Amino acid sequence: MAMRSAEDFDKIYRKSDPWSITRASFRDRALGLHIRPLVLGRSVLELGCGEGHLTATVLRNAQWITGLDISGVALARTPRLPNAHFQKMDMMSANLAGNDVIIAIECLYYLSKDEQEVFFARLARLHRGTFIMSAPIIGGKYYTHKNLLDAFDRHGLRLR
């Protein structure tokens, strides 16, 4: 079974910044270059926000950000931002309607293949705005360009 529970992630987050995200300035610059213009002045739902690092660095110019994470330990470390609210919630329970942009950076691969299918189906049915995801190779589970295109095609999602 894949790591998916709040308890799993709370254990990981016992150590602050367990993935060394605060030291990934190149990543922040690269993501910021592409994502900041897409969130400027818009409402954003950030799935798997963790400790809120990307919320504060890459998404900071959004009008409003709702950051969701399954780990209460991670959320306890999120920064106080005037345009953000953080909430403990499994991304599979998230309301995918009503935001201009949904962002899923390095989190969808924690879902099982069946959960991914359910997520993409819900996304296609409920979300009318921009969807941004990043999913690198990790722990032997990965997306390929082809299987992402196939999943998007199955659910009627289009790339721009």
pLDDT band for 101, please (50, 70, 90 cuts).
very high
Kindly state whether residue 32 falls inside one of the protein's structural domains: yes
How many structural domains comprise the chain?
Answer: 1
The separation between CA 31 and the C-alpha centre of its own chain, rounded to angstroms, equals 13
Kindly state whether residue 39 falls inside one of the protein's structural domains: yes
Domain that holds residue 106: 6-11+25-154
Kindly state whether residue 47 falls inside one of the protein's structural domains: yes
Q: Encode pLDDT of 9-37 as tens digits.
A: 999 999 999 989 999 899 899 999 999 99
Residue 156 has pLDDT above 70, yes or no: yes
Q: Which residues contact 137 (CB under 8 A, 6 or more apart)?
A: none
CATH of the domain at 31: 3.40.50.150
Kindly state whether residue 86 falls inside one of the protein's structural domains: yes
Whole-structure pTM value: 0.92
Kindly state whether residue 16 falls inside one of the protein's structural domains: no
The CA distances from residue 30 to 76, 158, 160, in Å, are 27, 23, 19
